[in-house]
Structure 1
Amino acid sequence: MPYYGFYGIDMYYIVLVVPCIILAFWAQARVKSTFNRYSQVLNRRGLTGAQAAEAVLRQNGVTGVRVEWVAGKLTDHFDPRTNTIRLSNAVYSSTSVASVGVAAHEAGHAVQYAVGYFPIRLRAAIIPVTQFGSMAAFPLIILGLFMNSGILIDLGIWAFALSTVFQLVTLPVEVNASNRALAAIEQGGLLTEDEYPMAKKTLTAAAMTYFAALAVSFAQLLRLLLIFGGRNRHD
């Protein structure tokens, strides 16, 4: 397949990257619509998101983790530096089925750290390197093209590969946190039998965004390898 098609169009981008970007947009839209849908369904137990997170922690024997409110929508996260679960406006005090699912997922991350789950430890360890790689990749490639330096281009591709590795490690971390959350919800009776599938759909939709992010990153990496990997470059 030629790199440039008609009118100098980047064919690798069109064929490889664009479909993955469309998938990513679809995944984002789906998670928002699913969350909004089940945010309208109040759970019969009357549990808030904060109470659900605390229940998951108790079930797993995890102590010393704070549950706090944070501004924004879908800004929920676990901060291992302060051992804090931060839940957004739509989750912290909400008694919706969706809020229970999201809060339980974030508590699942806290449990991962507590039990020493290797992938999340690995992700935390490589964050500084992958952040540098994602910022440096394209400047290095552009500089390499400007200076006709194959070494700089190769360094740029390797730097971008680091961000792909981060997405690859993130995927099992997120899926495992959701699995822990759903197990806790079911075993602890946090939701009724008919509410449980709603929480599962919410977390499954969220997981798709991580699959899509990995697909976009891998497609970009493959594009770079196809463009530059086959060229005979000399400094």
Structure 2
Amino acid sequence: MFFHPLDFMVLPFMLLAMYAQYKVSSTFSKYSSVSARSGNTGAQVARGILDANGLYDVPVEMGQGMLSDHYDPRARAVRLSPDVYHGNSVASLGVAAHEVGHAIQHAKGYAPLALRHAFVPVANLGSMAAMPLFLLGFFLHFPTLILFGIIFFSAAVLFQVITLPVEFNASNRAMQMLSHYNYVGRDEMGSVKKVLGAAALTYVASALVAVAELFKYVLIFSSVNRDE
């Protein structure tokens, strides 16, 4: 990696991403100490919502590491971190329901999720190939290589953008289901919303960083292309 003056354009979004990571950790920690009145654990809530939606074949498994919660579309499994799996806080229930939201998206063929899954190999290739091509083109003053780097990086950026509606929709489903199945009371929903909102900010910040980086590369390409 090298420093370019245009990196200052990206810096505010990188600071936002750092703040978002702090915010999600601190918010989860805060509301992990607030027990939900229902007394259910994250694992029980996940299992209950899955069963209520007919997804009996989707297992709820305990993963490893803090905030490692995710839905694995290949194994069709919801994996919860130990704190969420065993926890009965409003934070644990919110996170568990969010991951179940992804499982329901998958089962219902939610288009943005299907598009994101289809883009995974393209985004991975773009992330790996973009920077070597860009740097080689920049130092050799070869605009065509820079352009190819930008094209590959655009795939990774598009993946970040597609992720946003997927995550927002999963959070909306989570809040609706927690309320509908009486796992969380109406007066507790504000706390759940703060936890899921903090998590959503990390995705927004990541997307903004990616878009800003792409814009920076386009400006560099234009500068090099003019010099040729």
Shift, 1:57, TM fit: 1.4
Distance between the aligned counterparts of 1:124 and 1:194, measured in 2? 36
The unaligned stretches of length 5 or more in structure 2 are: none
* Helix, strand or coil at the partner of 1:148: coil
Distance between the aligned counterparts of 1:104 and 1:93, measured in 2? 14
Distance between the aligned counterparts of 2:53 and 2:124, measured in 1? 32
The unaligned stretches of length 5 or more in structure 1 are: 1-8
Determine the structure 2 residue equivalent to 1:214: 207
Q: Are residues 1:38 and 2:31 paired? A: yes
Distance between the aligned counterparts of 1:112 and 1:229, measured in 2? 41
Shift, 1:234, TM fit: 9.2
Determine the structure 2 residue equivalent to 1:132: 125
Shift, 1:63, TM fit: 2.7
Determine the structure 2 residue equivalent to 1:13: 7
Q: Are residues 1:55 and 2:48 paired? A: yes
Determine the structure 2 residue equivalent to 1:224: 217
Q: Are residues 1:151 and 2:144 paired? A: yes
Distance between the aligned counterparts of 1:176 and 1:117, measured in 2? 10
| Aligned sequence identity (%) | 48
Distance between the aligned counterparts of 1:233 and 1:195, measured in 2? 58
Q: What TM-score results when the alignment is normalised by the length of structure 1? A: 0.92
Determine the structure 2 residue equivalent to 1:6: none
Distance between the aligned counterparts of 2:169 and 2:226, measured in 1? 43
Give the AA of the match of 1:12: L
Shift, 1:61, TM fit: 2.7
Shift, 1:11, TM fit: 3.4
Q: Are residues 1:65 and 2:65 paired? A: no
User: Given the superposition, is the C-alpha separation of residues 226 and 148 from structure 1 closer, same or farther in structure 2, using an over 3 Å criterion?
Assistant: closer
8 Å Cα contact 2:138-2:224 kept in structure 1: no
User: Over the residues paired in the alignment, what is the CA RMSD in angstroms?
Assistant: 1.5
Distance between the aligned counterparts of 1:176 and 1:93, measured in 2? 25
Q: Are residues 1:28 and 2:21 paired? A: yes
Shift, 1:13, TM fit: 1.3
Give the AA of the match of 1:11: P
8 Å Cα contact 2:35-2:88 kept in structure 1: yes
Distance between the aligned counterparts of 2:212 and 2:87, measured in 1? 38
Determine the structure 2 residue equivalent to 1:93: 86
Paired residue total? 226
* Helix, strand or coil at the partner of 1:194: helix
Shift, 1:230, TM fit: 4.5
Residue in structure 2 matching 1:173, options 153, 166, 172: 166
8 Å Cα contact 1:149-1:234 kept in structure 2: no
Residues 14-58 of structure 1, C-alpha deviation per residue, up to 9 Å, x if partnerless? Answer: 1x2000001001111111111000000111111100111112213
Q: What TM-score results when the alignment is normalised by the length of structure 2? A: 0.95
* Helix, strand or coil at the partner of 1:114: helix
